[in-house]
Amino acid sequence: MDGFIYLVHLFHKGGFVMYPLLICSLLAVMIAAERAYYYRRHRRDGDGLRAQIRDALAARDWDGAIAVCDAFDTVMSRTVKAGLLQARYPQAGTMTVKAAFEERMAVEVTGLKKHLDYLSAIVTVAPLLGLLGTVIGMIGSFSVMDGSGGGAAAISGGVGEALVATAAGLCVAILAFVIHTFFSHQFDTVLTATEDLCFSVLEHKRREAA
């Protein structure tokens, strides 16, 4: 309880910039929760999807591979299905299949990167807000020099309080940076796995055409 009271005390000491910093921190946490759910849903049973599609391709069962994709609703399955819909036709070339992959992946990337730009903005803005709060607080602290006494003590105390805003801004920025880095890695993982499976489809199509 004492710790909570102390945090509330620090929050008020930081000045008005603590409110936008609080909003930034809540936004970062909300984005983290939404992205965690999104990537968990789109990475579920990815190994099973890849294995079943490769088995169907080994049997040259294009329709079977498409049916496997229909059983899943993920970025990977939708992207691969777009190419398979072209690859099942004997007259379709590998360039046509590759173009279908690329067109679908361009659409899916939007969902994979959703909200990550907000985290980048928070990483940049939060320290600036903290610095702004500190500068405003220091200006107020140095204004006590116009008084008759106790100026040095008041200034040192005021500067210490003003630095709370900078510390808060850095904490929010670090939080947003960690979240952004984690989900950027998730994005790269999904993208790499999808590209690898698409390459497998193209290889089977080349062998079939040979």
Look up residue 200 and give its amino acid. Answer: S
Terminal CA-to-CA distance of the chain, rounded, Å?
A: 74
Burial class (CB in 10 A: 0-12, 13-18, 19+), 69: buried
Look at residue 112 in the predicted model and tell me its pLDDT: 92
Q: What is the SS3 assignment for 44?
A: coil
* Helices 116-142 + 18-42 axis angle, to 10: 160
Residue 90: phi, psi to the nearest 5?
Answer: -55, -35
Look at residue 120 in the predicted model and tell me its pLDDT: 95
Look at residue 161 in the predicted model and tell me its pLDDT: 66
Cα separation, 188 vs 191, in Å, equals 5
Closest-CA residue to 53 (of 19, 88, 21, 90): 88
Extract the residue ranges of the chain whose pLDDT is less than 70. 1-4, 6, 141-161, 209-210
Look at residue 146 in the predicted model and tell me its pLDDT: 55
Q: How many CB atoms lie within 10 A of CB 119?
A: 25
